[in-house]
Structure 1
Amino acid sequence: MMKLDLEQERKDAGTAGPEQRERRESSGGVAQATVAELQAMIRDGRLKPGDTLPPQRDLARNLSVSRATLREALSILATIGEIAARPGGRGFICADPTDMPATPSWRFAARYSLREVYQFRYVVESYAAELAAMGHTEQEIVDLKECTLAFRNAARADDLSAYARADFDFHHLIMRISRNKLLVDMHQTFSSVMLESQRLPTLRRGDLLIAVQEHDQILEAIAMSDPDGANYYMRKHISMAGSRAGLPPSELP
């Protein structure tokens, strides 16, 4: 997936209207760049544990991004534990890295339980992997390998936001390779829910390369045109991901 450069976004910000900016940023590339810039502010001490982040209006203007993109970036940082909501729910503070919650919070709890999300993924994504194994092009296998490489590189760099994005991209690409337009549309429609479920395991900070190895198994089965293997390894991966996200054994799919 092509990602937009934050510096180019800044150059364009003065000439693009809000609607144009929001459409251009919807790919997620600028949100990821915004996450990286905010992380840099945390690392170099411009934002210290306990500091209140500037109001979103000011922060979006300073970073030359839309409010929608900033909200997405803040959501990513909150999910991976680098910022936290202020008491009372207005604004964010820079989190103390020694005070990370043992159990990740699930921000879509009012709509879907985490168990329901992983049940959905278990059924839908395993079937998509099966279909992908039965009909794919050489270029699509190359694309999957690129996604897996990005996933591995993010794991080695301990870049949690890039890690979750590469995870999502791999799964969404399998949906596209399945050639089932309804599956693709469903995954895209609920992309924010899917992506959030893929961010949660990063909070528990286990070995990030375990999921990379699971992707390797799925990719190998698809490349070998082994639908049963692709289905099996995807189901195994989703179940393990649910465990890493904090689901108890009794609720795993």
Structure 2
Amino acid sequence: MTKHDVQDARGKAVFPLPEQRERREPGGAVAQATVAALQAMIRDGQLRPGDVLPPQRTLARDLKVSRATLREALSILATIGEIVAREGGRGFVCADPSDVGARPSWRFAARYSLREVYQFRYVVESYAAELAAVGHTEQEIVDLKDCALAFRKAARASDLAAYAQADFDFHNLIMRISRNNLLVDMHQTFASVLLESQRLPTERPGNLLVAVQEHDRIVEAISMADPDGANYYMRKHISMAGSRAGLPPSELP
């Protein structure tokens, strides 16, 4: 076993991750690689239904990622139902696919209702899109289109983890293009809550490409320097996303 191999709780090599990857790649790419490593452990039977995952400190060390990246990866797996939080919130266990109770729910309910989260996104992200439409660079439009393309590819591949991450990256980039540091900091502060809200729609039946088309309209409006259009399409997208996440019509922003 080389120094780059990852070991599970039984000491077996399970997945190689290149050294120093986390310093070279964007956070979303590192999180996706970590998700893939953990999924490989589950797929290969090295983590079986009911197995307790190793402590986060151990996993982060073995996978050569930060604790923050690991927590993001675990959150993705919990939301798509591959792992389940233990009673009392101390660690995770590998989910049993036959266990209906393992299906994810809104895990931030004790702090914020899903309605509150989508209200927040409706106000903040629509204004960020408006600002982005009047203050972007050509390179930022290229980056935004790249995000939209990654989102489309994940939708076509039905890769739910990559789909949710690409969705978050798209919205996070619009925040940065807005040039409002307070909006950027707010989005980062509540990143785990917002990312979770963007994963919920993947758990409900529906066409993943619908949201892709909504992203395309937002990109078009921003690239055309149309602040009113960017604001409108973002508000419409957030409202539709809330519906896909399970909010009833009376609670949609």
TM range (shorter): 0.7 to 0.9
What is the CA distance between 1:145 and its match in structure 2?
Answer: 0.3
Seen in structure 2, the aligned counterparts of structure 1 residues 145 and 26 have a Cα distance that, compared at 3 Å, is: closer
Q: CA deviation at 1:100?
A: 5.1
Query: How has the CA–CA distance of structure 1 residues 176 and 58 changed in structure 2, closer, same or farther, with 3 Å as cutoff?
Result: closer
Runs of 4+ deviating beyond 6 Å: 23-26
For 2:212, the equivalent position in structure 1 comes to 212
Matched, 1:243 2:243: yes
Greater mean deviation of Cα atoms: 146-155 or 97-106: 97-106
Moved more, 49-58 or 113-122: 49-58
1:201 matched to 2:212? The reply is no
Q: Output one character per residue of 1:34-78: Cα deviation in whole Å (capped at 9) or x when no partner.
A: 111001122233223333323434433432334443333212211
Q: Find out whether 1:6 has 2:6 as its counterpart.
A: no
Change (3 A) 1:90 1:127: closer
- CA separation in 1, counterparts of 2:134 and 2:252? 27
The answer for the alignment partner of 1:16 in structure 2 is: none
TM-score (norm 1): 0.83
- What letter matches 1:106 in structure 2? W
Shift of 1:165: 1.6
2:137 & 2:94 partners in 1: Cα distance? 45
Q: What residue is the counterpart of 2:187 in the other structure?
A: 187
| CA distances 1:78-125 after superposition (whole Å, capped 9, x unpaired) | 112111123454332221334456974222222221111100110111
Asked if residue 117 in structure 1 is aligned to residue 128 in structure 2, the reply is no
Amino acid corresponding to residue 27 of structure 2 in structure 1: S
Q: What is the alpha-carbon distance in structure 2 between the residues aligned to residue 204 and residue 143 of structure 1? A: 29
Give the SS at the match of 2:93: strand
User: Given the superposition, is the C-alpha separation of residues 252 and 181 from structure 1 closer, same or farther in structure 2, using an over 3 Å criterion?
Assistant: same
- Determine if contact 1:104/1:204 at 8 Å carries over to the other structure: no
Separation of aligned partners in 1, 2:251 and 2:149: 31
In the TM superposition, residue 247 of structure 1 has moved relative to its aligned partner by 1.4
Cα 1:76/1:100, change in 2 over 3 Å: farther
**Superposition TM-score, scaled by structure 2 size:** 0.83
Instruction: Name the structure 1 match of 2:225.
Output: 225
Identity %: 83
5+ long unaligned stretches in structure 2: 1-15
Report matched runs for 1:14-29 at 5 Å: 27-29=27-29
Amino acid of the residue matched to residue 202 of structure 1?
A: T
Q: Do residues 146 (structure 1) and 110 (structure 2) align?
A: no
What residue is the counterpart of 2:96 in the other structure?
A: 96
Could you tell me whether the CA contact under 8 Å between 1:102 and 1:204 is conserved in 2?
Answer: no
Q: Conserved in 2, the CA contact under 8 Å of 1:25 and 1:31? A: no
Q: 1:6 to 1:123 in 2, by over 3 A?
A: same
Show the counterpart of 2:3.
Answer: none
Query: Cα RMSD (Å) of the superposition?
Result: 2.6
Equivalents in 2 of 1:110, 1:88: separation in Å?
14
Alpha-carbon distance, 1:231 to partner: 1.2
CA contact under 8 A between 1:104 and 1:246: conserved in structure 2? no
- On the 8 A contact 2:168/2:198 being kept in 1, the answer is yes
1:76 aligns with 2:76: yes
Task: Provide the rounded CA distance (Å) in 2 between the counterparts of 1:150 and 1:96.
Answer: 30
Q: Which residue of 2 aligns with 1:17?
A: none
